[in-house]
């Protein structure tokens, strides 16, 4: 029998699966996809090649990568009925809610659950990786009253998304930086949204429901929404001189400093280091960002105040500044996280299918026993806040 002393809130540190997809060493700041360091992949790979690596467990040959990229290009467009459905979404709705609904709707059109069929699995992988960016960009334009921009087959994955979003072909440096951002966000072991995907997958539902479940989990500010909050924080601080008092106030009130700290990393997140470098490349090419100096001072002050507790920048801290320089609206930061993380979710979905057992954790009951049912006419009357009998 499980005892209260064995209870781990949030399943912290409790292994829930055996996986060969990614590896993190939080003490040394190491992140690997299938054994390859994230720094190598960021410098030498592309997002689609990395996606292939994550999902199929090996780097593709040249022919395999060309075929995969061709399939993605072919499936970028979305059904007009999905597009018409999205036009009915409220303009004030959050893009993550639009994405979750749209991802789930894909299952209506591709609902065959042939989970033992490699061809079906590949088709699902291709459709989700190809169509999710199209839906994100389409909602962004439609909520402003515009028709969505059709994908361009002559543009690669990242350049095409920026084109659909801004209605103009992006600078090659911007497209490459964005592609690296997707690679950095593609996978990160058993985080909350990946665990949500695995639990949903374990029921043997379709992969579109798996991704929709994960998107809903990613939408929370404690998981995918933090980079949006980082920019708000930098705006509130306003100047380098205000950083110290601002941090001291947050520490005194035991408030969270957005973009800092991680459940796993006790040093600076390796992805944050790469994102900082990407930001500097963009600033050199397209002009400085006024909030970057505030961010640098904030990192220095937090390290001074809280470094001994292992609190350093995580992946969210610099990503918002990078996306801001790419002219991406702040409420699209988390949907872009989802565009990238779809590859990781699908890798875990595919892995889950090979050794599936439905998740059914237990609990430690803390309620009472042997209570007596009281007929409704014998119960005490409820009293409202004004003291009147209801």
Alpha carbons 166 and 150: distance in angstroms, whole number: 12
Residue 348 annotated to the active site: no
**CA angle, corner 27, sides to 22 and 30, nearest 5?**
35
Q: Which one from 206, 269, 289, 316 is the annotated catalytic residue? A: 316
Count the alpha carbons within 13 Å of 199 in the hemisphere toward its beta carbon.
Answer: 15
For the chain, the straight-line distance linking the first and the last C-alpha, in angstroms and rounded, comes to: 44
Count the alpha carbons within 13 Å of 76 in the hemisphere toward its beta carbon.
Answer: 24
Other Cβ atoms within 10 Å of 145 Cβ, number: 8
Contact between residue 132 and residue 106 where contact means Cβ atoms under 8 Å apart: no
Alpha carbons 318 and 296: distance in angstroms, whole number: 10
Q: Which DSSP state fits 1?
A: -
Environment class of residue 228 by beta-carbon count within 10 Å: exposed (0-12), middle (13-18) or buried (19+)? buried
- Containing 8, the helix (H) or strand (E) segment is none
Alpha carbons 371 and 86: distance in angstroms, whole number: 50
Residue 304 annotated to the active site: no
Q: Which one from 262, 269, 289, 348 is the annotated catalytic residue? A: 262
Q: Catalytic residues, which ones? A: 262, 316
């Amino acid at each position: 029998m499980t005892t209260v002393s064995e209870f781990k809130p949030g399943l912290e540190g409790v292994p829930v699966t055996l996986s060969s997809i990614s590896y993190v060493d939080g003490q040394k700041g190491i992140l690997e996809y299938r054994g390859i360091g994230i720094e190598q992949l960021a410098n030498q790979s592309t997002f689609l090649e990395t996606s292939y690596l994550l999902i199929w467990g090996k780097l593709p040959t040249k022919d395999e990568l060309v075929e995969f990229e061709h399939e993605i290009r072919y499936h970028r467009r979305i059904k007009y009925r999905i597009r018409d459905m999205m036009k009915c979404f409220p303009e004030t709705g959050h893009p993550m809610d639009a994405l979750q609904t749209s991802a789930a709707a894909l299952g209506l059109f591709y609902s065959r659950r042939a989970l033992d069929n490699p061809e079906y699995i590949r088709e699902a992988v291709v459709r989700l990786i190809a169509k999710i960016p199209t839906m994100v960009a389409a909602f962004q334009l439609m909520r402003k009253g515009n028709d969505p921009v059709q994908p361009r087959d002559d543009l690669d994955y990242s350049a095409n998304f920026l084109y659909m979003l801004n209605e103009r072909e992006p600078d090659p440096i911007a497209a490459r930086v964005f592609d690296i951002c997707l690679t950095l966000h593609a996978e990160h072991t058993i985080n909350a949204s990946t665990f949500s995907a695995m639990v949903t997958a374990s029921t043997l539902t379709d992969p579109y429901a798996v991704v929709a479940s994960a998107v809903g989990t990613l939408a929370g500010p404690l998981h995918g929404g933090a980079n949006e909050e980082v920019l708000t924080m930098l705006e509130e601080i306003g100047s380098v001189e205000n950083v110290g008092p601002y941090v001291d106030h947050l520490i005194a009130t035991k408030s969270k400093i957005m973009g800092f700290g991680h459940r796993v990393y006790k040093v600076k997140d390796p992805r944050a280091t790469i994102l900082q470098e990407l930001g500097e490349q963009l600033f050199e090419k397209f002009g400085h960002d006024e909030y970057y100096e505030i961010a640098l001072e904030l990192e220095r002050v937090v390290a001074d105040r809280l470094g001994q507790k292992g609190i350093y920048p995580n992946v969210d801290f610099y990503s918002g500044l990078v996306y801001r320089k790419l002219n991406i609206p702040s409420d699209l930061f988390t949907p872009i996280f989802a565009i990238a993380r779809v590859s990781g979710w699908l890798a875990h979905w595919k892995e889950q299918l090979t050794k599936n057992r439905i998740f059914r954790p237990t609990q430690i009951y803390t309620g009472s026993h042997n209570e007596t049912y009281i007929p409704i006419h014998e119960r005490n009357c409820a009293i409202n806040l004004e003291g009147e009998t209801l």
